[in-house]
Amino acid sequence: MKPDLREKIEQRKDVLSSIKEELIDRLQLEYSVDDIDDDTFLFGGGLSLDSIDAMDIIIGLQSRFGVLLPDGEIASMRTINTLADFVQAES
C-alpha cells in the first residue's frame, strides 16, 4: 500500500473510532468499538437509536470534533460512515 493511501485510511480509521467511542459513551450503548461496523445504520435496524438519541449525536459531534450538524441534515445521520463523511468534510 502506498504511503498516501495508508495515511488516508489511518485518518479515516481515527475518525470512525472516535465517532464510535463518542456514541458508546454518550448513548451508553452496550457495545465496544470493535462491535460496530462502519456501515452500521444508526436508526431502524443497526443500533436502533431514536430521535432523542439524534440530538445527543449532534451534541457529541460538536463536543468531540467541533462540527455542527445542522438541524434537518438527516442525510449525514444514516450510518457511522455517513457521520464520518460529514466530520471529515467539515474539519
Partner 1 sequence: MHNSNMIAAFYGKDETAGQRDGAIIPASYDTVETEYWRIRKGVALTDYSHYGKFKFEGDGALEFINSISFADALRIPINRMMPSYILKEDGSVFCEAMIGNYGDAYFVLTEGVEPEKILDLLREEIEKRALATRITDQTQTQALIGIDGPYAWELLKSFMGSSIIGTRYLEIIRGEHLDGMLFDLYRAGKTGEYGYVLKVESELALDFWKKLLDLGQDFDLRPAGYQALDLCRMENRFANMHYEAGSANNILELNTRVMVSRDKGDYIGRAAVEEKLENGIERRLIGLVLENDDDGALTPIQSGTGVYCDGDKIGEIANSGFSFSLKRSIALAFLDVDFAYAGLDYRLEDGKGERGARTVSAPFIFNQSLRIRPQEDSYFNAT
* Binds partner 1 (CB under 8 A): choice among 7, 9, 25, 68: 9
Q: Select from 18, 21, 24, 41 the one that contacts partner 1 (CB under 8 A).
A: 41
The reply to whether 91 sits near partner 1 by the rule CB under 8 A is no
Report if residue 55 touches partner 1, rule: CB under 8 A. Answer: no
Please provide the DSSP assignment of 25-87 as one string.
HHHT-S--GGGS-TT-BSBSSTT-B-HHHHHHHHHHHHHHH-----TT-GGGSSBHHHHHHHH
64 binds partner 1 (CB under 8 A): no
Question: Least distance in Å: CB of 39 to partner 1?
Answer: 4
Closer to partner 1 by Cβ: residue 64 or 81: 81
Grid cell locating 18: 472516535
